[in-house]
């Protein structure tokens, strides 16, 4: 059957996942942290306490199981459109989370459908909220039923002035091979033959890896590297990135603990737009 717009409000069964100190270290390396970031890349450095990067929450709680509630579609037509995270407390370097996924919106874009999935993660012992994730997926060829088109136009537009921070970050040629060890084994990011089938001359970097690079820039520029101060991040994936590209993150402080940002590739094209961060 086609996309069912009445699936809004459907939820997945609660699922508990766990992560270790090693997972936190591996994720940090996967998004480019290194010898200058020992709090995130080592667990036994003298006078340094290990901490987890806030964006690692995207690898912990998988709410995608709720997609089974929206009807049938060709997975090859699905593109990750946007990602938002909200942390209710600092993410520990090891722990467990119980997550419930919910279809929170379905929009008819004519040539496709936009599905919004929200994952709400809580402490399995106390029930206290840990973090929320919101991802939107654009599914080509599944629109046209006459439903609500949803929000449109640019969101979180940068001020018409020079950014307050510009951060240059270099991805490595094997960045995707390292990042995939945090869970996303899609061969689009590792197999040249598979990437060619998808229309790319070589494997592309995971969008959420680029997201993690941007998160590191925001953490350092806005929170002085303190993940306890990092509370929210969102952005829209507007262009793929190839491993080995340099990324430029431009950040504009907008007041009251908020900032907008963009991320650009080596040739200046914007790869993440509509970026917003909140911090304390």
Rounded alpha-carbon distances, angstroms, from residue 107 to 9, 10, 117, 155, 222: 14, 15, 12, 17, 33
Q: Which residues are catalytic?
A: 184, 189, 204, 207
Residue 101, strand partner residues: 119
């Amino acid at each position: 059957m086609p996309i069912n717009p009445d699936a809004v409000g459907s939820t997945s069964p609660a699922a508990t996942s766990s992560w270790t100190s090693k997972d936190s270290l591996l994720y940090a390396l996967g998004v480019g942290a290194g010898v200058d970031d020992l709090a995130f890349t080592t667990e036994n450095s003298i006078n340094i306490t290990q901490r987890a990067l806030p964006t690692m929450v995207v690898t912990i709680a998988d709410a995608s199981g709720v997609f089974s509630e929206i009807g049938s579609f060709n997975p090859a037509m699905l593109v990750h459109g946007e990602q938002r995270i909200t942390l209710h407390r600092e993410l520990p370097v090891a722990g467990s989370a119980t997550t419930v996924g919910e279809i929170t919106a379905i929009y008819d874009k004519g040539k496709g459908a936009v599905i919004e999935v929200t994952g709400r993660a809580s402490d399995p012992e106390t029930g206290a909220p840990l973090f929320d994730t919101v991802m939107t997926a654009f599914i080509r060829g599944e629109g046209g039923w006459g439903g609500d088109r949803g929000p449109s136009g640019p969101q979180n537009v940068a001020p018409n002035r020079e950014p307050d921070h510009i951060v240059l970050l270099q991805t490595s040629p094997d960045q995707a091979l390292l990042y995939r060890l945090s869970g996303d084994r899609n061969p689009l990011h590792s197999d040249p033959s598979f990437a060619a089938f998808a229309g790319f001359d070589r494997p592309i970097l995971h969008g959420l890896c680029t997201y993690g690079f941007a998160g590191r820039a925001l953490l350092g520029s806005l929170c002085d590297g303190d993940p306890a101060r990092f509370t929210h991040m969102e952005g829209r994936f507007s262009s793929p990135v190839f491993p080995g590209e340099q990324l430029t993150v431009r950040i504009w402080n907008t007041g009251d603990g908020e900032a907008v940002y963009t991320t650009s590739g080596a040739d200046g094209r914007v790869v993440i737009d509509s970026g917003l961060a909140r911090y304390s």
